[in-house]
Amino acid sequence: MTDEVYLVDGSAYIYRAYHAIAPLTNSEGMPTHAVFGFMNILRRLLKDKKPQYLAVAFDMRGPVFRHDIYPNYKANRPPMPEDLAVQIPYIKELVRAMNIPCFETQGIEADDIIASAAQLLSSQGKKVVVVSGDKDLLQLVNEHVVMWDPMKDKVMDIAAVEEKYHVKPEQLLDCYSLMGDSSDNVPGVPGVGPKTVEKLINQYGSLEGVYEELAGMKKSKLKERLEENKEKAFLSRDVIRLKYDAVVPAELSGYLPQEADYEKLNDLYTRLGFSSMVKEESKAIPVPTKGFKLVQTVEELNSVVEHINKAALLVIDTETTSLDVSSAALVGISLCTDLESAWYIPVGHCAEDGCLLEGQLQQATVLDALAPFLESTELPKLGHNIKYDYSVLKKSCNCTMQGPLYDTMIAAYLAQPGRRSLKLDELCLEHDYILTAFDQVVEDPKSENCFAYVGIKQACDYSCEDVYGTLVLWQAYEPLLKEMDQYKLFLDVETPLIPILADMELAGITVSGKVLEHLEEEFQEELDTLREEIHELAGYSFNIQSPKQLGVLLFEELGLPHGRKTKTGYSTDMKVLEKLAHRHEIPAKIMRYRILAKLQSTYVKSLKKLINPESGRVHTSFNQTVTATGRLSSSNPNMQNIPIRTREGNRIRKAFIPRENLVFLSADYSQIDLRVLAHFSQDAALLHAFQNGEDIHARTAAELFSVSPLLLTSEMRRVAKSINFGIVYGMSSFGLSNQLNISRKEASIFIEKYFHLYGGVKEFMGKVVAQAGIDGYVTTLLNRRRMLPDINVKNKTRREFAERTAINTPIQGTAADIIKLAMIKVVPALQKENLSARLLLQIHDELVFELPESELAETQKVVKVAMEGALKLDVPLVVNFEVGKSLAKG
């Protein structure tokens, strides 16, 4: 901290940031790089120098007094670029939000304001630092004033100026007058450069000095030029000369920054998409740990119970030995019901030797006491990713949480669709609380069992922070969900889905290690053979899995014609290889190699690793807060992309088998996307087709090719199917031509015909895109939102992508809504009918159950009713069933 006054040349740094930083836009497509660069400079100044006194000066739009003296002042400058102009108000707004004194005056420039302030303050003996890189401001340097350029981190005092320019700072004005300034269109004396000026000023002292002595100079080109341009030189000086009488505070208090308006600042940062700045600039504070209590005795546990008895909501977080449910053991539970207090109940903390530490209640004692609350169907529980806590308690503590399970992660997913992180600590930071990071409490976060070795006291603070933070978020998001009309979706769809997904994950699905083992050997043999053959044909060894090396072989060594190019080289994908297959043996072998290698690595080897040795089953994770459309996603393993189209793929499916004496029942929605499209578009032909149970692809084909349905070929149907799918994705003629290997012209004729047939669909697409343009987002039937920040941008590619998304998301998202509703209906319905069928998988439009064969007929009835009646559309929902002893089709 110093008592120097920092005067920042705001406008100069706006320009520098604008040119120095690559274009950047926020999520709405507004350019932000100048703002970003400027704020970085300002923030670095604040951080590094911690100035006690600081002010920023800006130019204002419009003519300045220099134009009166010299109308051509800056006449050669192009107008401010549009994408910079729109950023200026944000910069000024940010400086105001930071509560830094900010000066601007109509008719004068930032330089003049700085000059006035520097002179006024230095005449009072105050130290001044001019923050600028502009040489024009160097003339302000004196024994009290220095100039600092943060970009170069260089301080210029009198000595530095003299060393660099060989004149005194106060002589710089006269130097510039002679030299002129091409960037400001100030003429000076033509043909006089820095070296000449240096000589002249050093010899004669000043501009006046030069002209007084001019007559005595011997005849030369220089003398001639000086004589001819005397007026210009003096005019230039009047133009360049800084104005020292701008109105600026005379007292230091006028340069004293106040505490920032953090709310406004964060709001601006968020709008600009500067997430890193939101973090650093927030007024966030550590969570107050005063009300955090350890529960180590029965008496203390009883007092917690008494407290929860009066509560309307129980916030819970479990600490365990692993993120993976199947290997997680309980280490402790934290609870709270309001922001006054929170409790941590340790049950599994260990000493270094692995022995349980003293001062912990028995896990059973704790769960017996809490069970009435956890299992209460009345008392809502709240957690951040509560599916995990539900699963741990069910799996390792035999305690099944009931009642609504509110989840702040899901709340944030719905309320702020499209936000990048949903992690508790990041969300809390945006709500002004800094949480202790997991890495701060465990020594080696990667090693297993780690939380068990955290000290009990420290664990208490850490864990209680999490329930406290979760409650803080809930108090913010619950009203927000209501405001945004998302509360019903949250309560009636996402919340009841949580235990269903958890139970599906816990159930898992049996995978025969034996079958996989077999496949692995077989695939490996063929892969080895193929690799040898390919290397043989190539004449040298290379990595077949490297697109780069493969490209060299195919297109350079073999000289085959290359297709499209990628950013890094030639494309070698299946489409390209297919086209080369008839020219050379290698491409076909590569294709076969690719197919097998993919199956081998993704579906055989890694699937084998994920088989739980105890249960012989794999337990996927169904992620509820990942996709932009509202679909679920599945990981570890991804059970939603198990191969199906190829023969080998189907062999992998054969490894998925039901438990002994059980069968799989798969129920999939027929054409759900197109039915949703029919409902949204109200297209007469589409509605009619579905209402009459027609084969929609066949019907489309018959109309498209103008043939009777009886004469349709499978090729015609395939084309129609492609178009039907393409429509759902907002496809162009280019996309279709690519897909069908036909010309663009042919493709566009198909599309034209399609829209002629289904005029309502075309109309619907136009309407959705137009509405998205107005709202900036689209919604599904259950009001789920997706933001489309690019929907109105100038960039055609990005805008058109947003337009396709606007068309696709309501369809895909509504289909996702529907199957979620079906899941919520079907699980209790099966239970009510005393059927033992267990839901195992959801694959976007399909549900897979495991059940005794004897219950097949009755289960199908229940499933059919639940799925087909999930939501009432203007067309029927139709479900098809398949039964099998594995997941293989056919």
List the interface residues with DNA, window 486-525 (CB under 7 A). none
| Residue span binding DNA (CB under 7 A) among the ranges 158-166, 227-235, 495-503, 563-571 | 563-571
**Which is nearer to DNA, 234 or 729 (by Cβ)?**
729
**438 interacts with DNA by CB under 7 A:** no
The alpha-carbon radius of gyration of the chain (Å, integer) is 36
**Which is nearer to DNA, 65 or 734 (by Cβ)?**
734
**Which is nearer to DNA, 452 or 816 (by Cβ)?**
816
The residue assigned the tokens 């005795």 is: 297
Residues in 120-159 that interact with DNA by CB under 7 A: none
**CA distances (Å), origin 604, targets 310, 507, 516, 875:** 53, 21, 6, 41
Give the list of residues 6+ apart from residue 245 with CB closer than 8 angstroms, or none.
116
Backbone φ and ψ for 759, nearest 5 degrees, come out as -60, -35
| Residue span binding DNA (CB under 7 A) among the ranges 44-52, 278-286, 599-607, 860-868 | 599-607
Q: Return the DSSP state at 120.
A: H
Contact 26, 32 (CB under 8 A): yes
Q: Cα–Cα distance between 745 and 694 in angstroms, integer?
A: 29
Query: Which of 571, 612, 748, 783: binder of DNA (CB under 7 A)?
Result: 571
Minimum distance from residue 805 beta carbon to DNA (Å): 5
**Which is nearer to DNA, 57 or 618 (by Cβ)?**
618
Query: Which of 276, 606, 691, 713: binder of DNA (CB under 7 A)?
Result: 606
**Which is nearer to DNA, 449 or 739 (by Cβ)?**
739
Cα-to-chain-centroid distance, residue 832: 42
Q: Cα–Cα distance between 141 and 57 in angstroms, integer?
A: 18
Q: Which has the closest alpha carbon to 411: 310, 510, 489?
A: 489
Minimum distance from residue 725 beta carbon to DNA (Å): 4
| Residue span binding DNA (CB under 7 A) among the ranges 53-61, 235-243, 526-534, 636-644 | 636-644
| Residue span binding DNA (CB under 7 A) among the ranges 12-20, 112-120, 569-577, 762-770 | 569-577
Each residue 814-833 as x (binds DNA by CB under 7 A) or -, in order, gives: --------------------
Minimum distance from residue 735 beta carbon to DNA (Å): 2
Minimum distance from residue 878 beta carbon to DNA (Å): 14
**612 interacts with DNA by CB under 7 A:** no
**437 interacts with DNA by CB under 7 A:** no
Contact 178, 152 (CB under 8 A): no
| Residue span binding DNA (CB under 7 A) among the ranges 199-207, 331-339, 431-439, 839-847 | 839-847
**627 interacts with DNA by CB under 7 A:** yes
**Which is nearer to DNA, 423 or 598 (by Cβ)?**
598
**Which is nearer to DNA, 68 or 715 (by Cβ)?**
715
Can you read off the two tokens belonging to residue 146? 């220095």
**CA distances (Å), origin 651, targets 520, 605, 657, 731:** 11, 14, 12, 33
Q: Cα–Cα distance between 320 and 334 in angstroms, integer?
A: 11
Residues in 575-594 that interact with DNA by CB under 7 A: 577, 591, 594
**640 interacts with DNA by CB under 7 A:** yes
Contacts with DNA by CB under 7 A: the residue count is: 73
Minimum distance from residue 538 beta carbon to DNA (Å): 15
Q: Cα–Cα distance between 102 and 57 in angstroms, integer?
A: 6
Query: Which of 440, 458, 601, 691: binder of DNA (CB under 7 A)?
Result: 601
Minimum distance from residue 692 beta carbon to DNA (Å): 23
**880 interacts with DNA by CB under 7 A:** no
Contact 438, 384 (CB under 8 A): no
Strands 509-511 and 656-657: antiparallel
**549 interacts with DNA by CB under 7 A:** yes
Q: Return the DSSP state at 184.
A: G
Query: Which of 635, 682, 831, 880: binder of DNA (CB under 7 A)?
Result: 635
The residue assigned the tokens 């005067």 is: 7
**739 interacts with DNA by CB under 7 A:** yes
Query: Which of 253, 258, 568, 706: binder of DNA (CB under 7 A)?
Result: 568
Minimum distance from residue 753 beta carbon to DNA (Å): 15
| Residue span binding DNA (CB under 7 A) among the ranges 73-81, 258-266, 450-458, 807-815 | 807-815
Residues in 182-211 that interact with DNA by CB under 7 A: none
**881 interacts with DNA by CB under 7 A:** no
| Residue span binding DNA (CB under 7 A) among the ranges 117-125, 242-250, 642-650, 877-885 | 642-650
**Which is nearer to DNA, 381 or 786 (by Cβ)?**
786
**645 interacts with DNA by CB under 7 A:** yes
Q: Cα–Cα distance between 525 and 620 in angstroms, integer?
A: 29
**538 interacts with DNA by CB under 7 A:** no
Minimum distance from residue 606 beta carbon to DNA (Å): 4
**420 interacts with DNA by CB under 7 A:** no
**CA distances (Å), origin 432, targets 262, 276, 287, 428:** 10, 14, 9, 6
**843 interacts with DNA by CB under 7 A:** yes
**566 interacts with DNA by CB under 7 A:** yes
- 641-660 per-residue burial string, b: 16 or more CB within 10 A, e: under 16: ebbeeeebbbbbbbbbbbbe
Query: Which of 512, 638, 771, 836: binder of DNA (CB under 7 A)?
Result: 638
**642 interacts with DNA by CB under 7 A:** yes
Minimum distance from residue 546 beta carbon to DNA (Å): 3
Q: Cα–Cα distance between 276 and 280 in angstroms, integer?
A: 7
Q: Which has the closest alpha carbon to 768: 812, 733, 708?
A: 812
Measured distance between the N- and C-terminal CA atoms of the chain, rounded to whole angstroms: 77
Each residue 377-416 as x (binds DNA by CB under 7 A) or -, in order, gives: ----------------------------------------
Strand order in the sheet with 838-842: 838-842, 846-852, 662-669, 879-884
Can you read off the two tokens belonging to residue 288? 């107050």
Element (H, E) at 155: strand 154-156
**76 interacts with DNA by CB under 7 A:** no
Can you read off the two tokens belonging to residue 878? 């139709």
Give the list of residues 6+ apart from residue 693 with CB closer than 8 angstroms, or none.
876, 878
* Helix and strand numbers, DSSP H then E, in the chain: 38, 27
- 806-838 per-residue burial string, b: 16 or more CB within 10 A, e: under 16: bbbbbbbbbbbbbbbbbbbbbbebbeeeebebb
Residues in 787-806 that interact with DNA by CB under 7 A: 796-797, 801, 804-805
**Which is nearer to DNA, 3 or 752 (by Cβ)?**
752
| Residue span binding DNA (CB under 7 A) among the ranges 126-134, 538-546, 709-717, 752-760 | 538-546
Give the list of residues 6+ apart from residue 213 with CB closer than 8 angstroms, or none.
204
3-state secondary structure of 657: strand
Q: At what angle do helices 408-415 and 456-483 cross, to 10 degrees?
A: 40
Query: Which of 96, 431, 844, 864: binder of DNA (CB under 7 A)?
Result: 844
Residues in 664-683 that interact with DNA by CB under 7 A: 668
Element (H, E) at 721: helix 714-728
Residues in 675-734 that interact with DNA by CB under 7 A: 722-723, 725-732, 734
Minimum distance from residue 177 beta carbon to DNA (Å): 45
Q: Which has the closest alpha carbon to 859: 889, 875, 838?
A: 838
Q: Cα–Cα distance between 126 and 119 in angstroms, integer?
A: 10
**364 interacts with DNA by CB under 7 A:** no
Minimum distance from residue 584 beta carbon to DNA (Å): 16
**Which is nearer to DNA, 351 or 883 (by Cβ)?**
883
